Amino acid sequence: MNDINNIFDDKDKEILESTGIDIKRETRSGTFIQSNHSVVSCNIRQDGIEILPTKEALKKYSWLKDLMFKSFNNNVDDFLKNAEKKVSNGYFIYAKKGAKTKYPVQACLYISNDNVEQYVHNFIVAEEGADLHIISGCATSHKVSSALHVGISEFFVGKNAKISFTMIHKWGENVTVTPKSAALVEDNGVFISNYISFEKVKYLKMYPTVYLNGKGSIGRFNSIVFAPEGSHLDLGSRCVLNGVGSKAEIVSRTVSAGGEIIARGHLVGAAKDIKAHLECNGLLLKEKGLIHAIPELEAHLSDVDMSHEAAVGKIAEEEIEYLMSRGLTEEEATSAIVRGFLNVKIEGLPERLEKQIETSLNELSDKFF
């Protein structure tokens, strides 16, 4: 494994850090970095938690190959089958029974050369009672202008376990990203997935699904997206509530500054006593741009509590003028309101991750306003 400092130049290190990756690895329990098709860093600092490149993990743990595609509820379409053939590696993060990450584990998939097609298959497993927080920074080198990333990620949350997965994406201007992910959650397990994107993305299509199979299992998805002109993002989240008393919440806050966003959300109530809510809010800052909110509620029985709210529009004139009456220019007022709109309070996140998201929001304000 090569040293990080030798692989990345200063500008690339800056990009990595802006996705939440701690280059010095001081505030992280473990690190995995794959650049193009090679693993460049893989180490762990905490007992009970293990990180391995997927290929190695498949050799070490015979049960892992049986888990392959299990989280997709065996809905393996042609896309997945073809993608799997091209997989070069990926990461395996494993929290053993009762292990709780002191700091988040960081996983970084990086593309450092032009026209690379990176296919990875990642496995994240939390055994009974474990607590796993992962920050996934995916980015491309400043030298790259065009590339493709396809990530297949499978999450397995055991009984009373918790996995939080936060992705801060900084893709290059002409990178196409089509991740496929799914999660299986057992009794009283909690799965939290946060997706944050503030940069221009040529094309992103993702629609992770979580199967809340266990009794009292909980799923939460938060998407916070700012789409500059030239971006096209088709993102959604789906929660299938199969376990009695399971709960799900999907929050999507999107801002279009000229870019196109399709914001999907799908809640399926298939067991008694479930509670699910979907919130989809979009702000359009310019005449150009598109936000298409598609919330879906699917109830299979009567004993379910499902609701949604969706709203798309421009910033209220009243709010802008209120701030302007205090001496802020129209741009400063817009920036403050957009920041407030995107500043979603995400429950269950470690403080370090909260700070990271705030830092990204500050960068966004500085860059666009």
Partner 1 sequence: MLIIENLKVEVEKREILHGINLRIAKGETHVIFGKNGSGKSTLLMTIMGFSKYKVTSGKIFYKGKDITNLPMYERAKLGLGMAFQRPPSIKGLKTIDMLRLIKRVDEKTEELAKRVDFEKFLYRDLNFGFSGGELKRSELLQLMAQNPDFIMLDEPESGVDVENIKILGKVVRHLLDKNVRIKEGRKKSGLIITHTGYILDYVDADRGHVILDGYLMCSGNPREMFREIQEAGYEKCVSCMLAG
- Which residues of the chain form contacts with partner 1 (CB under 8 A)? 316-319, 321-330, 332, 336-337, 339-344
Residue number with CB closer to partner 1 (207 or 341): 341
Q: Which of 268, 159, 275 is nearest to 214 (CA)?
A: 159
CB of 167: closest distance to partner 1 in angstroms?
21
CB of 193: closest distance to partner 1 in angstroms?
21
Whole-angstrom Cα distance, residue 229 to residue 257? 6
CB of 326: closest distance to partner 1 in angstroms?
4
Residue number with CB closer to partner 1 (1 or 324): 324
Whole-angstrom Cα distance, residue 354 to residue 101? 16
Residue number with CB closer to partner 1 (204 or 338): 338
3-state DSSP assignment of residue 314 = coil
Residue number with CB closer to partner 1 (301 or 311): 311
Q: Which of 223, 225, 178 is nearest to 200 (CA)?
A: 225
State residue 101 phi and psi, 5-degree precision: -70, 130
Whole-angstrom Cα distance, residue 299 to residue 293? 20
Give the contacts of 269 (CB within 8 A, at least 6 positions apart).
241, 276, 297, 298, 299, 300, 301, 304, 306
Cβ contact 134:164 at 8 Å: yes
Cβ contact 344:222 at 8 Å: yes
CB of 297: closest distance to partner 1 in angstroms?
24
3-state DSSP assignment of residue 260 = strand
CB of 323: closest distance to partner 1 in angstroms?
8
Residue number with CB closer to partner 1 (82 or 343): 343
Residue type, 245: G
CB of 222: closest distance to partner 1 in angstroms?
13
Residue number with CB closer to partner 1 (80 or 328): 328
In 10 A of CB 266, how many CB atoms? 18
- Percentages helix, strand, coil for the chain (3-state, rounded to 5) are 20, 45, 35
CB of 168: closest distance to partner 1 in angstroms?
19
Residue number with CB closer to partner 1 (229 or 330): 330
CB of 248: closest distance to partner 1 in angstroms?
22
Residue environment code for 275-289, b if the CB has 16+ CB neighbours within 10 A, otherwise e: bbbbbbbbbbbeeeb
Residue number with CB closer to partner 1 (47 or 351): 351
